[in-house]
Structure 1
């Protein structure tokens, strides 16, 4: 019997498998389709890696996570984060407040006026002060999942089962029995559930205590959409071109983010999206992949006004899943020998190596997680 089952082969699940396998656990990863598939939250090659958060806790965790990224890139021999730097601006983004947090964390940064920022980055238009931190970049989500699973496999302690959709988890006298949708079963001593956008439909099937479930934050799943705008200057495109910075722009009218397109966009243009701009769905099972026309018009209008360095005509568009809690905090908690690991994909990607470490620590008793991520501590259900 395998020691530990990890449900889900996205960024969080693959990272948990890596850390557990490194510690000598026989790990079986169960994935409903294939790792980092296009129906989940970890597909594609372009996600923002950044340090700027209004909360000191998260910035400090990014600093800690970067050490995990460095180790993963070393063992995989692959560059998984492409350095770009990041720009933060907008009348509700509070660049000065973000600068204070980065200062406390010892992260390199610079606060500029809108005019000074325009001189340095004429491809953008700014209406407020701008925070620049050069340590940010673009992470390759799909490539990272592959690297994590390869590193776990290299230990000899990993088994990956694809096309294995989990239907429910049953408590047994010695551990757990996981049931698939087709009637197959697999037993283990412990479980890590990293099901992403499928968690809302699976949560009630995990044999968790009622007190724990009653306190579990409501998970909101959105089908978000993103658009790739071509650069006016073709010299800005290509794998070897100097990349544009990533950006987060938050105003009272619209909250957007953008980053250079990655491998799946042929290293072309800027990928731009609205934060929480997609429709709410019951779970990942309800996604239809249809881009909302009104959202497309809103992002084209944004590009026309604030991105003078692009042609405001998307050459590609896509949908993806964001799974968030009301507080936008992660959920990482344990009941007996089952850990629920919900990274909340709106901003969880940059923490991938650390999330796996936190889940492994919690499951093995080697460490704990920040109180903000715990449920059982307040319900009395903790192991």
Structure 2
């Protein structure tokens, strides 16, 4: 017997879980389909460490972080949790433009401080700063896996159904909605479908029954297999999160939390991994050239860390050319790609935007609807 739901959400990572939470909280009939389990270890939403920060060169995103934080606080209150641990953040490097970031934060009313390299080194001797430094204490670290669990719990509390081990094979447009089928031959009928499949999205796009014009208007969605490394702290100095950007390399780091046994800093090169066609092609093998670049970086810029990584992992980044999110809709099918490189902090807000778009009850920023904009222009 074919099951049915008013809304089907494909993918139980951060964005999918947030969308299901928002839809269910509004009283909608929601079924969540997850290929394995929520926040699966081969997806983009596993583990305990993602950066939460306000510093963006584009004030649109800084203001969106402020909106998102209100929803994170709501989620915390609902579950009696603290999903974002405050650590503060330092931003520096000639390409990071700390002075510009400070002006953006000033305009948005976000607490911050701009320090010289010498003053910053005095405050955080575990770093070697090569430019002025932006400090904003409201930044922190998101526990991604616990956040997914919290949002799924809220969705289920409001009546949503979670189906795990449900590997979506395709979506067929039907007269009264959509039929979603699994690789195992299961089927579920839906009035509306929201696809939040992360690194699996490129491989699914052609099997979603999307109109040709809509497909042609979507930006290129690329997938990288990224690497991250954990380096032990040499002493007990408090470590903030950081982003350092130069012409040679862009790196980021944050306390690794549970993933690293609370013993070290997670450090990675931003978009330093190899392109793969989709998540299906990931190998889980760390690129030795990438490891060498990051170790060299730690030796030069992070004297407070032992430069020999004690743990390492791979993960997935999906990106659009502009690094803007993709939240677009054709008929009753919403395509959702939050771009793993910086989407985690916006998860509750992305869920709200996606729910607004799927239900037709609210508008979302036009920059996230490139396919619709192209169709309208034609």
TM-score (norm 1): 0.96
Match of 1:253 in 2: 248
Q: Verify: 1:355 aligned to 2:357, yes or no.
A: no
Alpha-carbon distance, 1:381 to partner: 6.8
2:28 equivalent to 1:33 = no
- Structure 1 stretches (4+) deviating beyond 6 angstroms? none
Secondary structure at the residue paired with 2:95?
Answer: coil
Provide the C-alpha distance between the structure 1 equivalents of 2:251 and 2:366, rounded to a whole number of angstroms.
29
SS at match of 2:107: helix
Unmatched 5+ stretches in structure 2: none
User: What SS does the corresponding residue of 2:239 show, helix, strand or coil?
Assistant: coil
1:175 to 170, 174, 177: 177
Is 2:105 aligned against 1:109? no
Aligned to 1:78: 81
1:334 Cα deviation after fit: 1.0
Matched, 1:61 2:64: yes
1:22 to 25, 30, 46: 25
Structure 1, unaligned stretches of length 5 or more? 237-242
Q: Does 1:305 align with 2:300?
A: yes
2:103 to 100, 103, 108: 100
RMSD: 1.1
1:335 corresponding residue in structure 2: 330
Mapping for residues 79-228 of structure 1, pairs under 5 Å: 79-155=82-158, 157-228=159-230
Alpha-carbon distance, 1:26 to partner: 1.1
CA distance in 2, matches of 1:279, 1:41: 16
Aligned partners of 1:376 and 1:314: how far apart in 2?
43
**Aligned-partner SS, 2:284:** coil
Match of 2:277 among 258, 264, 282: 282
Whether 1:46 and 2:49 are equivalent positions in the alignment is: yes
SS at 2:213's partner residue? helix
Q: Which residue of 2 aligns with 1:240?
A: none
Residue 232 of structure 1, aligned match among 222, 230, 234? 234
The normalised TM-score by structure 2 is 0.97
